[in-house]
Amino acid sequence: MNAARSGYRVFSANSTAACTELAKRITECGEWCVCVCAHMVNGCSWKKPHIEKLLLISEVFFKSFRDVNTAVMELLIMAYALKTSCARNIIGVIPYFPYSKQSKMRKRGSIVCKLLASMLAKAGLTHIITMDLHQKEIQGFFSFPVDNLRASPFLLQYIQEEIPDYRNAVIVAKSPDAAKRAQSYAERLRLGLAVIHGEAQCTEQDMDDGRHSPPMVKNATVHPGLELPLMMAKEKPPITVVGDVGGRIAIIVDDIIDDVESFVAAAEILKERGAYKIFVMATHGLLSADAPRLIEESSIDEVVVTNTVPHEVQKLQCPKIKTVDISLILSEAIRRIHNGESMAYLFRNITVDD
């Protein structure tokens, strides 16, 4: 495609060498060129991105990811540089939206996801393409359109093509919070469903890191005559696997794999219940800290993630980690937005719970 006549450019952040890899894959699908336009100098100052005059009447697509804080800052600087260069539309392709788990008020904490949405709007973005937001309600934080694409068609295809005898599998939710996602996979593959409930689950709970503010006060004075009902403390039930996994392949599905301790614990429980193979499927493979080592030493046979986040180093450390390429759907989304075509085709057969 002739970039000069296409009316838009695709820019990529340059915070790490891996940042441009997915951008190149996306542009190869659409036969466009990719420009790397910004990078950090001495870790604290930034070279001003050079913007071509052609952008005065063009649309701009750009993408960024890890390292998260560097990428966010680079994202904001790029967007603002394009805004001040009079770009007509600035569409950010952010496959993994950072801080998406911090979308709720807890104690006296902050809703960082809302803050980031405001910063992106202020910097000049007019549209965002992302994938599998941790909470769909995050789209309400933005004052401009957000297209939340799904990676599940690619992961479902992987299950059907790469897992032998997948008909003998059962889809597993490692906690009740993930049951809706697991149910969606099970219904599409016509497979059974199992849910792990109890002490092994590791959900988004408050940690003892100073966020419990204000501290508990002993012998607190209460207004005479005011008797408030006390909230009963939570107590997790004994570990339970709801569903039959004996003699079957267990496929654990989730949206994010970061700290893998909960997945390793779930795999051990499933092994005890008779599952003979265990796969973990997720959209975003953050795989932080010692995740590769823990996966390699665990009962998990394979971890399958998409390339929304670069994890080439982790794959070298653990051969169990496999990657599914989702650049095709991002490329098609860019093409449809630029041509003013409906995005409904990319959301066909997608339900509210998906």
- The model's pLDDT over 263-322, given as tens digits with 9 standing for 90+, comes to 999 999 999 999 999 999 999 999 988 999 999 999 999 999 999 988 888 999 999 999
**Whole-prediction pTM:** 0.81
Look-up of token digits 């951008």? 23
- Average pLDDT over the chain, rounded to an integer: 81
pLDDT for the residue numbered 259: 86
The DSSP string of 200-226 is T---S---SSS-S-SPP-TT----TT-
CA distance 341 to 343: 6
Comparing C-alpha atoms, which of 304, 290, 238, 313 is closest to residue 269? 238
- For 130, the enclosing helix (H) or strand (E) is strand 127-131
DSSP letters for 154-165:
HHHHHHHHHSTT
Confidence of residue 107 (pLDDT cuts 50, 70, 90): confident
- Amino acid letter at 135? Q
Q: Residues 208-235: pLDDT tens digits?
A: 444 444 555 555 565 666 677 877 777 7
d(CA 211, CA 291): 26
Give Cα 35 distance to the centre of its chain.
24
Half-sphere exposure of 34 (CA within 13 A, CB side): 21
> With the C-alpha atoms ordered 57, 59, 65, 68, is the resulting torsion angle positive or negative?
positive
Any residues with CB less than 8 A from the CB of 188 and at least 6 apart, and which? 152, 156
